[in-house]
Chain A
Amino acid sequence: MRTVLLVEDNAVTRKLFRVALQGAGWSVLEAEDGGGALALAAAHQPALVLQDLRLPDMSGFELAHRLRELPHGPAITIIAVSGLLSSREEIEFASSPFTDFIAKPVEPSRLLALLEGYAPREAPASPAARGGQRILICDDNPDQLKILAYRIRELGYVVETASDGKDGLEKARRTRPAAIVSDILMPELDGFGLCLAIRLDPHTAAVPIVLASSAYIEAADRDLAAKVGASACVIRTPDLRELLDALAASIGTDTLSEPAMPVPIDEVAADHLSRVVRQTERQAAVNSQLARRATLLAAELAALESISEVLGRTGSAGPNFSDILGHCLEAGGVSEGVLYLGERSGLPPHPAALIGFAGASDDDIAGFFSHPELLDSVLTGAASFAIPSDPIGPDLSREILGRAGVVGMVAVPIAAQGETMGALVMGARTPGRDREDWLAFARTASLQVGQALVLARTLRQNRLLLDSVSEGIWGIDSAGIITFVNRAGADLLGELPAKVVGRPLHPVIHSRCADPDCDLARALDDDRKAGETAFHLASGGSIMVEYTAALVREGSRSEGKVLLIRDVTERDTVRKLAALEELRRQQLHLKDQFFTQVSHELRTPLAAIHQFVSILLDGLAGPIEGEQRQYLEIVSRNIEQLRGMISDLLESGRVEGGRAVLSRESVSIAELIGHARDTLSLSAENKGIRLSIDVGAAPLAVYADVSRVGQVLTNLIDNALKFTPAGGDVCVSARAGDTGDGSVRVSVADNGAGIPSEELPHVFEYLFQGANNAAQSRKGFGIGLHVCKELVERHGGRLWVESRPGEGATFSFTLPAVSAEIP
């Protein structure tokens, strides 16, 4: 495949060229500066180099010189891409290291046609035919010398080079070449002088000489060349065609046994001098003009590049047209301008940006100074015009310039991808601009603007697409810096895209992670990896995300990666809750089993102890006396306590495990309280505590599990008795509830020690042991009140406690009325 090296620091232009070249079957190497270009050229030896004149690290001329210094450098076709060179200046380029140049704006078709002309040629059909013939080349420009030597050597000749006329004369006398090719303008001895000297030396008089000039050749130059005996005098064009043809023709005349006898030198001296002066003057003029143009070009290109930079800053609101127009005007060195954008639908173009034209009204601007047809011609015909100019005519020109308040104007279409999108109009307040130059510049600028608009439109479309996706999409460059994030991607973190782009990825999504090489960072570093992880939010929380990381490749080169991110916090939470619920269920089951088993295993030995103690106490094993009986009774009392605790244990497991199925019926609360009183009255009596009941006059019925509510009542009364000293009071009361829905409130009040305020919130907690409790003779597991609360709540009621230390405690619970529907 044919390879071309593209050297251009403007990414937009580079892309434009690349697409065109690749489409035509070229393999394209790209460099954005001279250093990169040299490295690529050395590595790949491209036959063609297409290079910008202005590069970030060196001038285009310097790059071309250094390319020529490469081993295959002379063979490279180096084409400069520049703007605004007249055809005269093209000739000047021939004396530079460039093979040719192409002026901006560059249309792809023109570029391709040019490159085709320079495509590497087939090797000469029969180089052997010219084998061995020695050609002497004289040129003081080493680059030109090298190119010419290469081309001539390519044709099968043996080449000898000389760096000036004097050197050439010496070498010609020594080696007598088959032909001499010499530059006209050289130090020491110019081409005319060299030719004359060769002719005057009999040894070399017959050697054909081709004189070449990079500058203009006038008839007088040819006359002089003929007078001094040159075989031909040619212009040195970039393709060297005329020169090589002349060379071949001069050698072909191998019967040049009688060379034209040169006129004596004194006769041609005056002529010679004037020709040399003219050539020198022309060369100097071309050189100075070139320098000026190069400087101007550099400035203009720099300004044009900034249009692309403006585009790079394009936000969601679209490109800033005023900025773009401003850069165009700055580059063109004018102060007034309008950027018209036309609708594809055919609506009239509207001014998208306006700078200057202070004297013109809005209507003037919108209607192009009362001549909208001129603007239309630009948009529909994609043609440019300048004012004043012949096509516009002097009267119309005067009218428009008068309205606009400028001395000159140009208008060019803004087009890209075959579509005319608008027009760029520039106006100058001061005269002195070359119309054609200005138009050429305006076209160059409009090309940039067109590319910018297309790119902006593409970017906007892409952004719209990406912002419509509900997944987060993040672009990360190879250094780990976030280069892009769509709306959903930023929303995930609760950030604005602008606050995220440009920052390294890891600290953004893992802000509380100190390890830049953590698992997440490494996972995201893999070629292609999917997984789940937690992102840290700037607000402090975290979210669970599912991510897919994929490498972004261009050819074989990695350009970074793209991350697709979906918030799965909700799904994750549901899953976690389900897992937790299952774990809780299993734990409850285990606990239930444990309680059942423990209670079972404890009961058997307890039953044996209980039996034998009672046998002893009942005297079944013989009489027992005084102190023995007292101690056995202590054992017996503790057995009872143990039995109660084992029951609590089992009960707790049962209630917690949800196995306490309620068997409800309508029952009188007074009856239930009566049963509980019967069970505990003896205990109260033994402790010397008055146990009273107050259930009011009206009968109160509840819908409850008799045994469970009995259990609650017994437990609460038993507790009250436990914490009330001898001589105290425990009162169990029942009243209709405050809610008026027929519910009943039952309270168990004592006037004992009360509950310390710090313990009040905890008394119903599972396994809670009050500090005071430990001092009591009978200890518990801290299960009883917890179970009571569970049972009351299972009935749809509420259990609570009120207490002041030293003034006793009141435990109250509610039970639903008979009529209440309990689920």
Chain B
Amino acid sequence: MSGKKILIVDDDGDIRLGLSVRLRASKYTTVFAADGVSAIAAAQRERPDLILLDLGLPGGDGFLVLERMGAIPRLASIPVIVLTARDPASSEVKAIELGARRFFQKPVDNDTLLLAIAEALKDA
């Protein structure tokens, strides 16, 4: 697992930093994007092994990012885990339908998240 690159997409800098510290402790490499457009660009540029995606984003929300990446063959295979403050009741089904592997509501238990990441990378 170590050395895998994870793209963290979140408009909140504190969240990006926290996740980064947590992931780097588990030997992942992290890259960042703070909005929808940069997320697509970063995914094209960085070719991450996995994307942690927030839904509420400026410049195209998380659903749009999922939709675009699904349409780009080289990006479509990158597993995406949605990590959002939104109510799963209204967002989870849609996110999964658009290709997200997993859906977690913030704040998420770190062990749960790390386990999900590991599983997603293993499947990929």
Over the window 75-111 of chain B, the binary record of Cβ atoms lying under 8 Å from chain A Cβ atoms (1 yes, 0 no) is 0000000000111011000000000000001111010
> Among the listed B22, B85, B89, B108, which residue makes an inter-chain contact with A604, where contact means beta carbons less than 8 Å apart?
B85
B12 at the interface (CB under 8 A from A): yes
Asked if A603 contacts B22 (CB within 8 A), the reply is no
Asked if A659 contacts B107 (CB within 8 A), the reply is no
A786 at the interface (CB under 8 A from B): no
Asked if B85 contacts A601 (CB within 8 A), the reply is yes
Chain A contacts for B110, CB-based, 8 A? 611, 614, 618
In angstroms, Cα B21 to Cα A620, docked, is: 7
Q: Given contacts A611-B107, A618-B25, A643-B107, is CB(A603)–CB(B85) below 8 Å?
A: yes
In angstroms, Cα B87 to Cα A604, docked, is: 12
Q: Given contacts A604-B106, A639-B107, A643-B107, is CB(A599)–CB(B18) below 8 Å?
A: no
In angstroms, Cα B14 to Cα A650, docked, is: 24
Asked if A650 contacts B87 (CB within 8 A), the reply is yes
Asked if A615 contacts B22 (CB within 8 A), the reply is yes
Asked if A606 contacts B107 (CB within 8 A), the reply is yes
B19 at the interface (CB under 8 A from A): yes
In angstroms, Cα B110 to Cα A610, docked, is: 9
In angstroms, Cα B23 to Cα A614, docked, is: 12
Asked if A615 contacts B21 (CB within 8 A), the reply is yes
Asked if B105 contacts A611 (CB within 8 A), the reply is no
Within 8 A of B (CB), among A163-192: none
Interface size on B, residues (CB 8 A): 19
Asked if A600 contacts B87 (CB within 8 A), the reply is yes
Over the window 29-69 of chain B, the binary record of Cβ atoms lying under 8 Å from chain A Cβ atoms (1 yes, 0 no) is 00000000000000000000000000010000000000000
CB distance from A54 to the nearest CB of B (A): 94
| Interface of A (DSSP majority class) | helix
B116 at the interface (CB under 8 A from A): no
- Closest Cβ neighbor of B105 among chain A residues: A603
- Closest Cβ neighbor of B108 among chain A residues: A607
Over the window 647-689 of chain A, the binary record of Cβ atoms lying under 8 Å from chain B Cβ atoms (1 yes, 0 no) is 0001000100001000000000000000000000000000000
A612 at the interface (CB under 8 A from B): yes
Chain A contacts for B21, CB-based, 8 A? 611-612, 615, 620-621
Chain A contacts for B14, CB-based, 8 A? 605, 608, 612
A596 at the interface (CB under 8 A from B): yes
CB distance from A4 to the nearest CB of B (A): 90
Q: Given contacts A596-B87, A600-B87, A654-B89, is CB(A606)–CB(B18) below 8 Å?
A: no
B120 at the interface (CB under 8 A from A): no
In angstroms, Cα B19 to Cα A639, docked, is: 17
Asked if A603 contacts B18 (CB within 8 A), the reply is no
In angstroms, Cα B108 to Cα A603, docked, is: 10
Q: Given contacts A614-B22, A620-B22, A621-B21, is CB(A608)–CB(B86) below 8 Å?
A: no
- Closest Cβ neighbor of A617 among chain B residues: B110
In angstroms, Cα B12 to Cα A739, docked, is: 55
Of the candidates A615, A639, A654, the one having the most CB atoms from chain B within 10 angstroms of its own CB is A615
CB distance from A511 to the nearest CB of B (A): 54
CB<8 Å pairs between A and B, sample of 19? A596-B90, A600-B87, A601-B85, A604-B106, A606-B106, A606-B107, A607-B18, A607-B107, A608-B15, A608-B18, A611-B18, A611-B21, A611-B22, A614-B110, A615-B21, A615-B25, A620-B22, A620-B25, A659-B89
Q: Beyond the given A607-B108, A614-B110, A615-B21, could you list 5 further A-B residue pairs with CB under 8 A, ordered by the A residue number?
A: A600-B56, A603-B106, A604-B12, A606-B107, A615-B18
Please provide the 4 A-B residue pairs with the shortest distance between their CB atoms, ordered closest to farther: A611-B18, A603-B85, A607-B106, A607-B107
